[in-house]
């Protein structure tokens, strides 16, 4: 009885947090994660000389210029998946052959940070108008799912917000050529995501009266391109989803996560690499 009461209290508290966040911040990340991220972001701005923020719609397409590092990452990534060792996580429910994740890409492929060239880091800085740190790095392969309507959501192919502090930004990098057949990432900018919220979007399984607008909208951005194509996206305020690849197709993607910081990022520092690796290991306890 007591456990049931605690569960009820938790669910109601969570629902109120989401409701309050939607009223005040116009997203469904929740009041707590909005306030935490925005307060931290604002506090960190005072440590930077240029606080002007760019990309107000929450995204920006770019290209990775270090093709040599990109090719090395791709070759090692393929080798890890082919060898199918303990450092590879596979989906356990739904369709286990449709999702693969390298558990600690930084440990397996230290050169992964080399694609963060000065021009890429400058774009991240322009987004924040403040210093930032790398909070996570991951690499995924997604493949066709036979019955997505009846399967557990093996990977995030339903429209959603990422529930993390709103000073979190993601950089998606294509590790293979991605066409519409390969199930690309698609998303809506921050403003149109708010429009969908007004139209009745609630959750992954409840698009409300926004469903037709979601399916037919020309506002949808689709991340397709050659290996090395990239996009930065604020996935806490931009509604987004993975596509489902067609049969015999797949999508390979590398994802960096950033958060605002009071200290300028030094990717050559061993301390920085150790901090990132520890954060990855902590996150991987979920798998």
pLDDT in tens, 64-112: 999 999 999 999 999 988 887 677 777 655 555 788 888 888 888 989 9
Instruction: Please say if the pLDDT value at position 39 is more than 90.
Output: yes
Give the predicted TM-score (pTM) of the model.
Answer: 0.92
Residue 4 pLDDT greater than 70, yes or no: no
The closest alpha carbon to 55, from 233, 185, 228, 219, belongs to 233
Mean pLDDT of 151-155: 69
Tokens of 113: 């940070």
Q: For 210-246, what is each residue's pLDDT tens digit?
A: 998 898 888 999 999 999 999 999 999 999 999 999 9
Q: Are 121 and 182 in contact (CB under 8 A)?
A: no
Share of the chain above pLDDT 90, in %: 66
Alpha helices in 46-159 (DSSP H): 67-83, 105-108, 118-128
Q: How confident is the model at residue 63 (pLDDT cuts 50, 70, 90)?
A: very high
Q: State the DSSP code for 217.
A: -
**Residue 223 and residue 63 in contact, taking contact as beta carbons nearer than 8 Å:** no
Domains, the chain, ordered by start: 2-286 (2.60.120.620)
**Which run of H or of E encompasses 74?**
helix 67-83
Q: Which residues pair with 66 in a beta bridge?
A: none
pLDDT in tens, 160-198: 999 999 999 999 999 999 999 999 999 999 999 999 999
Supply the pLDDT for residue 2: 42
Query: Between residues 52 and 37, which one has the greater pLDDT?
Result: 37
């Amino acid at each position: 009885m007591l456990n049931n009461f605690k569960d009820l209290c938790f669910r109601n508290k969570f629902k109120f947090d989401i409701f309050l966040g939607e009223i005040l911040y116009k997203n469904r990340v929740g009041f707590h994660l909005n306030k935490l991220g925005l307060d931290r972001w604002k506090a960190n701005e005072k440590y930077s000389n240029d606080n002007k923020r760019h990309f107000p719609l929450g995204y920006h397409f770019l290209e990775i210029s270090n093709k040599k590092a990109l090719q090395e990452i791709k070759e090692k990534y393929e080798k890890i998946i082919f060898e199918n060792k303990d450092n590879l996580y596979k989906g356990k429910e739904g369709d286990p052959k449709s999702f693969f994740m390298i558990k600690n890409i930084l440990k397996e492929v230290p050169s992964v940070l080399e694609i963060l060239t000065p021009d890429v880091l400058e774009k991240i800085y322009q987004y924040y108008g403040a210093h930032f740190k790398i909070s996570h790095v991951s690499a995924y392969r997604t493949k066709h799912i036979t019955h997505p309507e009846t399967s557990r959501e093996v990977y995030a192919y339903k429209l959603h917000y990422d529930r993390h502090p709103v000073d979190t930004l993601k950089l998606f990098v294509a590790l293979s050529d991605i066409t519409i057949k390969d199930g690309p990432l698609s998303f809506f900018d921050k403003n149109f995501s708010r429009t969908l919220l007004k139209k009745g979007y609630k959750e992954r399984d409840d698009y409300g009266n926004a469903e037709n607008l979601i399916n037919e909208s020309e506002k949808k951005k689709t991340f397709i391109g050659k290996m090395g194509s990239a996009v930065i996206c604020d996935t806490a305020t931009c509604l987004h989803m993975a596509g489902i690849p067609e049969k015999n197709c797949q999508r390979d993607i590398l994802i960096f996560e950033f958060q605002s910081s009071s200290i300028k990022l030094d990717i050559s520092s061993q301390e920085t690499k150790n901090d990132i690796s520890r954060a990855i290991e902590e996150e991987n306890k979920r798998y």
